Structure 1
Amino acid sequence: MKRWLRQRVDAAYERLLSREVSGAPTHVAVIQDGNRRYARNQGGDAHDGHRAGAETTEHVLEWCQDIGVEELTLYTFSTENFERPAEENEPLFDLLCEKLREFAEADRVHDNEVRIRTLGDTDQLPERVREAVAYAEERTRGYDRFVLNIALAYGGRAQLLEAARGVAEGVDAGELEPSEIDVEDIERRLYDRPVRDVDLIIRTGGDERTSNFLPWHANGNEAAVFFCAPYWPEFSKADFLRGIRTYEHRQESWRRTRARRALALLGALSEPELAEARSIVDRFRDSLPSAERPDSGELEAGELETGDSSSRIAD
């Protein structure tokens, strides 16, 4: 009876969250933590937890596509994971091979034009895993409707270090001028193919840290972060929607802050800068409380009280 009631409550909560979600992030990144702890709690071994987590991964892929997410990155195997015992890693490598090939042949992957890519130093992986990676990437290479990035042998700092070395080598070879190095030069050396800026990071398992995950694309973009207690195999659609709601609140706060800053600056800017500030205020006007919203006439005339605007920044 209690189980039935719990299921009814969970279903009702999921429907409520679905109604509250009005938009979707473009790129969601997930730290799938807690597989081994889940397995221990269930009386199994690490492999049982990883296999249960793989089922959750398939559900999350579906949920992302349902709400309009365009790119999903899964932190599947870090460089630190190589330090775990071989008897734990070898079954995980076998599972990765199985799932990569299964995904590469799945009708839902081809029907939804999902492109599978890997991020990380895959040369460190066993040959059988590298072959499965190459197979999945080749089978889905022509798709671009949805991108599934699988981070394998991945370390964010290591990626940034390699990019920095590549830039230094370019300067040393006379291919780059130090004063001309820009964001694109770094990004070209981070990955072979473009990766969108991350809008939302989700971490399961209770830890509140991002563990060196996509530092360039997440931190630089001020991504929203959602930490939750369930282990990865227990992660539900309601948990997923709570993460999306966290992103929406973060976006709303960002738009409101941009509008308030632009309002405060209008009275102090030179004429060329006024047009940009007015444009920002106009774009994000609806994010402000009604008492703070200027009308179009005030924007055009510049008749804004800078004292009030200054106080808005403090808010």
Structure 2
Amino acid sequence: MHPNFEGKIDPRTREAKLLASIDLKRLPRHIAVIMDGNGRWAKMRGRPRIFGHRAGAESVRSILDTCTRLEIEAVTLYAFSTENWKRPRSEVSGLMSMLKKYIRSELREVKAHNIRFQAIGNISGLAADVQKEIQWATEQTAGNSGTVLSVALNYGGRLELVEAAKNAAAQLVASGRGLDQLSEEDIERNLYTKGLPDVDLLIRTSGEMRISNFLLWQIAYSEIYVTPTLFPDFRRSEIFEAIIDFQKRDRRYGGLKEAANK
């Protein structure tokens, strides 16, 4: 049993067996999650969509608790996209209200786990009260040295790349270099996720086979894991299963293993 899970997992359970199957020396450095299926989960129970979003908060807690115990470097959660503004006003309002309450209620636990919080996306496009909560949580956890939790809010992958390219080009011009000298490193320095490793494992819940404009640059060589589990039902066992599947993959980054070339 991993020492960080002692007292948290019954050694007789399926969770314990799954944990024992994980190679702790080959864990993904950065896990990203497209949290999908909250609305369907609620509809199946005859409840409004916001009920599913609230239920999904427990899955977020499970993801963070599990990943911090595994000492994963970075976790990025897709919470609200630039396209989500098209949803009913009542749902958007409920989501923003829930976000503010979640940040407040969970900050003590986040700090206890040594998690550093940041929000990525067009944060200036959010309501002032939401921005205030985000800034407060960011400042409160700035000195933490554990898992970096990035919550994607008002986020769009294409928008991120456009903004990164604009900023990188401006920096080139300001330094007297030509635009023909633009490099991948210049783009990476201007991404919302600058300083974090690229995503190793991208998880999507609810069975949908799309990346939905999420971290388009950062997932270039990610392993993608899709589970039919709806997000409110996504817990520690499902995280373990995703990591086990990840560790079965042959990660070649466009090349071939030496043995295959002989």
Q: TM-score, normalised by structure 2?
A: 0.88
Per-residue CA deviation, residues 244-287 of structure 1 (Å, 9 max, x unaligned), is 0121112x4539943336xx4xxxxxxxxxxxxxxxxxxxxxxx
Per-residue CA deviation, residues 18-72 of structure 1 (Å, 9 max, x unaligned), is 1111132111000000111111111111111111001110011011112221210
Name which structure has the greater RCO, CA cutoff 8 Å, separation 6+: 2
Is there any run of 5+ residues in structure 1 with no aligned partner, and where?
A: 1-10, 265-308, 310-315
Separation (CA, whole Å) in 1 of partners of 2:146 and 2:132: 24
Please show how residues 115-194 of structure 1 align to structure 2 within 5 Å: 115-173=116-174, 175-191=176-192, 193-194=194-195
Please show how residues 235-274 of structure 1 align to structure 2 within 5 Å: 235-250=234-249, 252-254=250-252, 257-260=256-259, 264=261
Please state how far the C-alpha of 1:207 moved relative to its aligned partner.
Answer: 0.2
Read off the aligned partner of 1:34 and give its amino acid letter: G
Per-residue CA deviation, residues 75-123 of structure 1 (Å, 9 max, x unaligned), is 000000011111111011000001112222x1x3223211000110011
Q: Secondary structure at the match of 1:43?
A: coil
Which residue is equivalent to 1:16?
17
Is there any run of 5+ residues in structure 2 with no aligned partner, and where?
A: 1-11
Change (3 A) 1:35 1:192: closer
Separation (CA, whole Å) in 2 of partners of 1:192 and 1:66: 22
Aligned residue pairs: how many?
248
Change (3 A) 1:168 1:70: closer
**Contact 2:172–2:182 (8 Å) recurs in 1:** no
Q: Secondary structure at the match of 1:226?
A: strand
Read off the aligned partner of 2:79 and give its amino acid letter: T
Residue 39 of structure 1, aligned match among 37, 42, 54: 42
Please show how residues 1-315 of structure 1 align to structure 2 within 5 Å: 12-23=13-24, 24-104=27-107, 106=108, 108-173=109-174, 175-191=176-192, 193-219=194-220, 222-250=221-249, 252-254=250-252, 257-260=256-259, 264=261, 309=262
Separation (CA, whole Å) in 2 of partners of 1:178 and 1:234: 48
Which residue is equivalent to 1:289?
none
Read off the aligned partner of 2:122 and give its amino acid letter: D
Which residue is equivalent to 2:9?
none
Separation (CA, whole Å) in 1 of partners of 2:53 and 2:44: 13
Larger Rg belongs to: 1
Q: Secondary structure at the match of 2:219?
A: helix
Read off the aligned partner of 2:252 and give its amino acid letter: W
Please state how far the C-alpha of 1:233 moved relative to its aligned partner.
Answer: 0.2
**Contact 1:224–1:246 (8 Å) recurs in 2:** no
Separation (CA, whole Å) in 1 of partners of 2:115 and 2:200: 19
Separation (CA, whole Å) in 1 of partners of 2:175 and 2:28: 40
Aligned sequence identity (%): 34
Separation (CA, whole Å) in 2 of partners of 1:217 and 1:60: 20
Separation (CA, whole Å) in 1 of partners of 2:116 and 2:168: 29
Q: Secondary structure at the match of 2:218?
A: helix
Which residue is equivalent to 2:6?
none
Per-residue CA deviation, residues 169-213 of structure 1 (Å, 9 max, x unaligned), is 344556433343222211222227422210100000110111111
Q: TM-score, normalised by structure 1?
A: 0.74
Please state how far the C-alpha of 1:161 moved relative to its aligned partner.
Answer: 1.0
Separation (CA, whole Å) in 1 of partners of 2:211 and 2:225: 10
Separation (CA, whole Å) in 1 of partners of 2:151 and 2:97: 15
